[in-house]
Amino acid sequence: MIQVEQLTRRYGEFVAVDDVSFQIGQGEIVGLLGHNGAGKTSIMKMLTGYLEPTSGVIRVDSLEIGRDTRRIQARIGYLPENCPVYPEMSVLDYLDFQAGLHGLAPAERPQAIANAIRRTALREKATQPIHTLSRGYRQRAGVAQAILHRPDIIILDEPSNGLDPTQILQMRDLIRELAKTATVMISTHILQEVQAVCDRVLILRSGKLVVDARLDTLQQGGRLLVCVDAEAEAPLSAVKGVRAVEPRGRSNGRWSYALQADADTAPRVVDALSAAGRRLYALQPEQRDLETLFAQVNAVEATQEVAHG
């Protein structure tokens, strides 16, 4: 559905987005993750047609930003980072105003507004001035305006910014609801939000795309973790399918190792340890959370900066 090829954005000598390419399929929930200044917001502004790329191509199906920007924008619902709303308006008045901006005919607006209010659980706040709402409800009003015209792409920039824990859970539920009928892209620097709702993650570092993978794949560390009652590096290294053995230390009379090996190597590991007279206490695939992966990605950057310093 969305295809980005060699996207670059420069501000003078500063390169905010550096030769980024990716594709997003219909119905995916994709998290765009990175430190502040990594290029997330610049990419979203270019995807929505609000910022012109220095170079590169953005396509939505057969449409292309630049040539077909207005037609692409008509298919996108966008919540900018700071959730711009008119505080003196009521929620209903604000949504009616936004419906006009989205090009909805007057006869279509009541039903569109009612649907948006229902989906964002704003019914009890519909007649209240926006300035009286909590941050969470203002965010909901921002999402409501983004879905008024029933877009098939929804782009949310920092949707959980400033929300309390209860409001964050409500926002997660709302994003899952939206994803039933649209492709959703979320930009955030909050790792837990991506891990909670996304199918896939794109990680940016200094304007470059350094990770593009499904979360369920990333969370499999690609190693087997072993705990035995005695030193076992030699028998483990001899197991077919074990590419490397990393000792992880000794504690309470038990030795731990991390094996570079596929999960289906586990039965051979058990057999080898038994043949070597080792008692097995634990054998499991390594599980990585997004926080661990993010730390590893940025540790690489720090190492490279030191090497070039």
Are 202 and 209 a contacting pair, CB within 8 Å?
yes
Cβ 38 vs Cβ 207: under 8 Å: yes
Give the separation between CA 25 and CA 183, rounded to whole angstroms: 8
For the chain, 309 residues long, give each residue's pLDDT as a single digit of tens: 899 999 999 999 999 999 999 999 998 999 999 888 899 999 999 999 999 999 999 999 999 999 999 999 999 999 988 788 899 999 999 999 999 999 999 999 999 999 999 988 899 999 999 999 988 889 889 999 999 999 999 999 988 877 888 888 888 998 998 898 899 999 987 888 888 899 999 999 999 999 898 887 776 666 899 999 999 999 999 999 999 999 999 999 999 999 998 778 999 999 999 999 999 999 998 876 777 777 767 765 544 443 445
- The amino acid at residue 262 is D
For position 219, what pLDDT does the model report?
Answer: 66
Q: Which residue ranges does the chain devote to CATH 3.30.70.3100? A: 221-287
pLDDT of residue 45: 94
| Helix 91-101, helix 135-147: angle, nearest 10 | 30
Instruction: Specify the pTM.
Output: 0.77
pLDDT score recorded for residue 96: 96
- Dihedral sign, CA of 260, 265, 270, 275? negative
What is residue 303's predicted lDDT score, i.e. its pLDDT? Answer: 46
pLDDT of residue 306: 38
What kind of architecture, by CATH, is found in domain 221-287? 2-Layer Sandwich (3.30)
Whole-number pLDDT of residue 301: 54
CATH number of 2-217: 3.40.50.300
Which of 63, 34, 133 shows the shortest CA–CA distance to 92? 133
Q: For position 117, what pLDDT does the model report?
A: 94
Q: Considering the chain, tell me which residue range(s) the CATH 3.40.50.300 domain(s) occupy.
A: 2-217
- 200-205 and 183-188 beta bridge pairing: unpaired
